[in-house]
Amino acid sequence: MLTCDVFFASKNKKGEEVCGDSIKVKRESEKIVVSVSDGLGSGIKASILSTLTSTIASTMLMNGLPVTDVFRTILATLPICRVRKISYSNLCSVVCDFKNNTCTVVEYEFPVVMLFKGERRVFPEKLELEIEGKKVFVWQFQPEAGTLLFLATDGLSQAGMGTDLFPLGFGVENIEKEMKHLLKNHVSPENIVRHFVKLAEKLDQEVRGDDTLVACLNFREKRILNLFVGPPEDRKKDEEYVRTFLSLPGKKIVCGGTTGQIFERVTGKKVEIDLYTLSENSPPVGYMEGIDLMTEGIVTLTQVFRYLEGQSDELGYGAKFIVKSLLEADEINFFVGRAINPAHQNPLFSHDISLKFRLVKDIAQILRERGKIVNVQYC
């Protein structure tokens, strides 16, 4: 299954404290919604309008509401400029449905939307809708690994406007040429957005310019990590849980000595202990066919938590492997056994909550705050 990374960068209009352009990203396991909006004018007022627009759009689209309902709500919420008779915000929303491998793009008065597959720009057919007297364009594409969707507000396309070099602004054609050049030279999406914002700043040196926001959606294979922590509560279901865990896609880590013994018993395979990974404060790790790493439980998870929380840099081999895997993963699935080892109880916690439950809960919270999809299943 695919997923996408969302990279963006922005700059403020000269003399303004905030950017009037906004981006809102919402994520679920099989769905991502990205909305970019440019508020009319600049500064605080524009920021409020664009934030309101992108938030309404992302929330409603994530909840599966039709495009027509979404835009009727936005148009009914936002006022029309009495002087220029135009909307106070424009909008581009992207709904990525990875379960069906389909992306839907919705454009309302949005200046720069470009789809690239490799170095080649693709031009999908657009459907024009009229909603509340306004033209809205809707189109779809099927993403592949390496597909890139580029979005930019008019602060980029109009950068340098009024200068001798670009009297009418940098322009969409020049943006496309620059994109093809960057992709040909294998510039990363993260650096692409930074490059264009720096370019807009350079072109606007002699003029006030405008707010600018540039975003790239980079599609790639999803990275999944599965961790089995502690033995299941019901021994009769050991085999069921082990077989289910082993059938999952993605990287697999098993934490806990007793849990490792269960995997040995169910699979008939042996854990090979690597004594070279033993250190003064960290137990050694082990390896088993079909499992990426077997580690001790509480000590290792405590090191992982303390590192992610910024409390300590001390990591044994197993904890270092887990931290690296957690930070690389898009989606993390914890299988947490309910069988409680009395030796792992902490009097600071209530009597019915084990230390491993607390560690998994706290680690999961940190990861969610970093934008990860985290699922915790107790067994």
Six-digit token pair at 315?
A: 């990591």
From the options 3.40.50, 1.25.40, 1.10.357, 2.60.120, give the CATH code of 224-378.
Answer: 3.40.50
Confidence of residue 323 (pLDDT cuts 50, 70, 90): very high
> How many beta carbons lie within 10 A of that of residue 237, not counting itself?
12
Give the pLDDT confidence score for residue 56 in this predicted structure: 93
Tell me whether domains 2-221 and 224-378 share a fold.
Answer: no
pLDDT in tens, 327-338: 999 999 999 998
pLDDT digits (tens, 9 = 90+) for 128-157: 999 888 899 999 999 999 999 999 999 999
- Sequence spans of domains, the chain: 2-221, 224-378
**pTM, to two decimals:** 0.84
Under DSSP, the state recorded for 104 is: E
Dihedral sign, CA of 355, 357, 361, 363? Answer: positive
Q: Which residues contact 204 (CB under 8 A, 6 or more apart)?
A: 14, 159, 160, 210
Which tokens belong to 153?
């507000």
Q: Distance between alpha carbon 238 and the CA centroid of its chain, in Å?
A: 34
Tell me the per-residue pLDDT of 2-15, one tens digit each, with 9 for 90 and over: 999 999 999 998 87
Separation CA 210–CA 41 (nearest Å)? 9
Q: Which CATH architecture has domain 2-221?
A: 4-Layer Sandwich (3.60)
Per residue in 33-77, pLDDT (tens digit) is 999 998 877 778 888 888 999 999 999 999 999 988 998 888 877
The residue count of the chain comes to 379
The 10s digit of each residue's pLDDT in 42-51 is 778 888 888 9
Angle (nearest 5°) at CA 336 between 330 and 339: 170
Cβ proximity of 54 and 36 under 8 Å: yes
Residue 351: band (very low, low, confident or very high) from pLDDT cuts 50, 70, 90: very low
What pLDDT is attached to residue 365?
Answer: 96
Residue-wise pLDDT tens digits, 154-194:
999 998 888 888 889 899 999 999 999 999 999 999 999 99
Residue ranges with strand state E in the chain: 2-11, 21-28, 31-39, 89-97, 102-108, 112-117, 120-122, 127-131, 134-141, 147-152, 212-221, 224-229, 251-255, 272-274, 285-288, 291-295, 331-336, 373-378
